[in-house]
A and B are shown apart, each in its own frame.
Chain A
Amino acid sequence: MAAVEVATQTMSYRDAISKVLSEEIEANPDVFIMGEDIGRYQGTFRVTQGMFDKYGEKRIIDTPITEAGFTGIAIGAAMAGLRPVVEMMTMSFSILAMDQIINHAAKIHYMTGGQAKCPLVIRGPGGAAKQLSAQHTHCLEGWYAHAPGLKVVAPATAIDAYGMLRQAIRDDNPVIFTENPGLYTVMGEVPDNREFVVPFGKANILREGTDVSLVGYSRMTQINLAAAEKLSEQGISAEVVDVRSLSPLDMTTINASVAKTHRAVVVYEDWKFGGFGGEIASRIAEESFDDLDAPVVRCGGLNVPTPYARNLELECIPDVDDVIAAVQKLG
């Protein structure tokens, strides 16, 4: 750990997001938040709780339920120099705004030959919570990371949520900041520093190990940490690589880990087939082939729409036992 002493506060992932949103609203008059029920209703996941009363309707904007429309308005406002933060009630709803995000926001800087910028943040929960069924539980980070022009991040800890959201708001490019309902109550130490940022494109080793690299992001990093703990009881030393940033992607750190452990399991909550974990796995295979003692294994969500029944839902999401089973496949 760094030797520098910095005052920290213990808080939840949710509060860390709320804290940085408030701080950036206070720091820059161009920053505003818009989304469904974020103001008077205090936010569906309570991330913006209290902000409407504190900052008023100019900065905390309740929108109609029209994702494409208000995302487009945010894009136009960003092109004109403001710094909108759009909350998607869940990332699943951002599919309605996909044309605005992919066909417009992601391409503006390129199509204008650099004349225009789009400093926009789209944030919200992606992934399963408890029995939200099939239409509120998409993990879309892979879809977005597929599109050049977007930056896509998926922090797993309170400190990263805090530092990466500030980076996202200050970034001149459109950023997809994906949270996970299962992370909001995860506690962590957050620095008391209004300039603290976590730069994009830097993966983080959260636990060192020598036998296998567990590569993941967002909530799956928490699963990987728990799996590593359990694996250690079996005498297997797992290294946990928290990818944090999908685009840009830090293959240097991932490859260095594989060079040490010679085995990799890529864990992601999204549908296993065609998901972002496949991109990481293929990159490891291409770039670290000589270091590998076993094929790279993916451990992803089941390829089904998320079912309602709790037992079926739990079946779909990779858990500690699934990760351990994937590690054991490596022999």
Chain B
Amino acid sequence: MAKAKLEEIESPAMLEEFYRQMLFIRRFEEKCNVAYRLGKIGGYMHTYVGMEATAVGIHHAIKPTYDYMITAYRDHPQPLLLGTDPVKVMAEIMGRSDGMSRGKGGSMHVYDIERGFYGGWGIVGGHIPIGGGLAFASKYRNEDRVTICLLGDGAANQGVVFETMNMAALWDLPIIFCIENNEFAMGTRLEYHAADTELYKRGEPFGIKSERIDGMDVLSFHKDMQRIVDWTRENQKPYWVEIMNYRFNGHGAADNDRELYRTKAEESEAMKRDPIARLEEIMLKRNVMTREKMEAIDEELTDQVEAIYEQADASPFPDASEVYDNVYTDMEPEKGH
């Protein structure tokens, strides 16, 4: 997908681009939820519904496929935006042989290394030093890449995060730690898991430039991220950003009782910050797009996602003989039961 140039951001074409990308992610994720309930997707699956502005805003602030990106297990939208074949993403989520990892990774482990997307990790916080390593590598080679390292508010408490922050500051690594603060570490509310809920402050003791920004308004968020990415690229130093957003779905597809940790009233209130609805309001107000056009786009994207799903579903499961493939680059592991 195309990337916005800063001067074009507020153009009608760009608003439409942002809109299409956010809506595509939502329809894709909703389709994943349906497929999960049908038993077409198994295991753990975490969707991005409600947080779309964050992925889209970051995508337009970086140099896609040049800059490095790494995240945890809420990892469907990033490769979709980077131009990874959506059928291959869906097929991976469905555990099929046409998947990005030929069905070895699944929803939590989507990668597109060629496009600079380094996954796709399941241990909360575990990928953060690896993100530090990506930034280390670009610095080592005197490149001007930045690394976007996404993490949840829950991950922000892991010890390895602080280890990585220390080394990122010590060694001036060009990494942007992006906390996607959706207010919940699985089912534990922020105030029950963080001693100080203002997570952006955690960068300060390391001398890392830090701030908190709204991640639900794609336009303002994109501008903020562009400024942060440009600063990081130019200064080749880390940045610590707390992005305030909200997930409308449960933590994962298996989390079907959200009332254990939040009320319906709270959700309704949060829905008012829906990034897609917010952009719709802006576009209507500016006479950039009619409601009819929005509906037409929605229909188009919904059909597109349906076709993606059908193609992915046509992909076979991996052959049993592939089970030993890719344990090593050059040999097979010990075989047999």
Contacts and interface: CB of A to CB of B under 8 A. Distances in A.
B327 A113 contact: no
A110 B326 contact: yes
Contacts of A117: 329
Contacts of B163: 64, 66, 68-70, 72
Interface residues of A, number: 42
A113 B134 contact: no
B102 A113 contact: yes
Interface string B298-325: 0000000000000000000000000001
B333 A148 contact: yes
B215 interface: no
B114 to A, nearest CB: 7
A116 B103 CA distance: 15
B100 A115 contact: yes
Contacts of B160: 68-69, 72, 99-100
Contacts of A278: none
Interface stretch (B57-65, B118-126, B183-191, B253-261): B118-126
A74 B328 CA distance: 18
Nearest to A58: B140
A32 B111 contact: no
B216 interface: no
A116 B134 CA distance: 13
Given A64-B166, A72-B164, A73-B164, A109 B123 contact: no
A103 B334 CA distance: 19
Interface in A138-173: 148-149, 151, 171-173
A113 B99 contact: yes
Contacts of A63: 167
Contacts of A99: 123, 126, 160
Contacts of B122: 103
Given A72-B164, A99-B126, A149-B327, A111 B109 contact: yes
Interface in B44-97: 68, 70
B275 interface: no
A201 B334 CA distance: 12
A228 to B, nearest CB: 29
A171 B329 CA distance: 9
Contact of A79 (B114, B133, B328, B331): B133
B105 interface: yes
Contacts of B26: none
A116 B118 contact: yes
B13 interface: no
A114 B100 CA distance: 10
A201 to B, nearest CB: 7
A76 B168 CA distance: 13
A249 interface: yes
Nearest to A61: B171
Interface in A245-297: 248-249
A173 B327 CA distance: 9
Contacts of B130: 72-73, 75-76, 79, 100, 104
Nearest to A80: B137
B123 A103 contact: yes
B136 interface: yes
Interface string B117-159: 0111111001111111111111010000000000000000001
A104 B114 contact: no
Nearest to B113: A115
B170 interface: yes
A71 interface: yes
B101 interface: yes
A115 B79 CA distance: 14
Interface in A35-79: 58, 63-64, 66, 68-79
B251 interface: no
Given A58-B140, A111-B119, A173 B132 contact: no
A103 B166 CA distance: 22
Contact of B105 (A69, A72, A111): A111
B331 A201 contact: yes
B100 A80 contact: no
B329 A76 contact: no
A80 B101 contact: no
Nearest to A105: B130
Given A68-B163, A113-B99, A115-B101, A100 B126 contact: yes
Interface in B230-281: none
A191 interface: no
B180 interface: no
B202 interface: no
A148 B128 CA distance: 23
Residue in B127, B130, B137 whose Cβ sees the most chain A Cβ within 10 Å: B130
Given A69-B129, A111-B109, A113-B102, A173 B140 contact: no
12 contacts: A71-B129, A73-B129, A73-B133, A109-B327, A111-B105, A111-B109, A112-B120, A113-B100, A171-B330, A172-B329, A172-B330, A173-B328
Given A75-B129, A75-B130, A149-B327, 12 more contacts: A72-B164, A74-B133, A75-B133, A82-B137, A109-B329, A110-B327, A112-B101, A112-B105, A113-B100, A115-B114, A116-B118, A173-B328
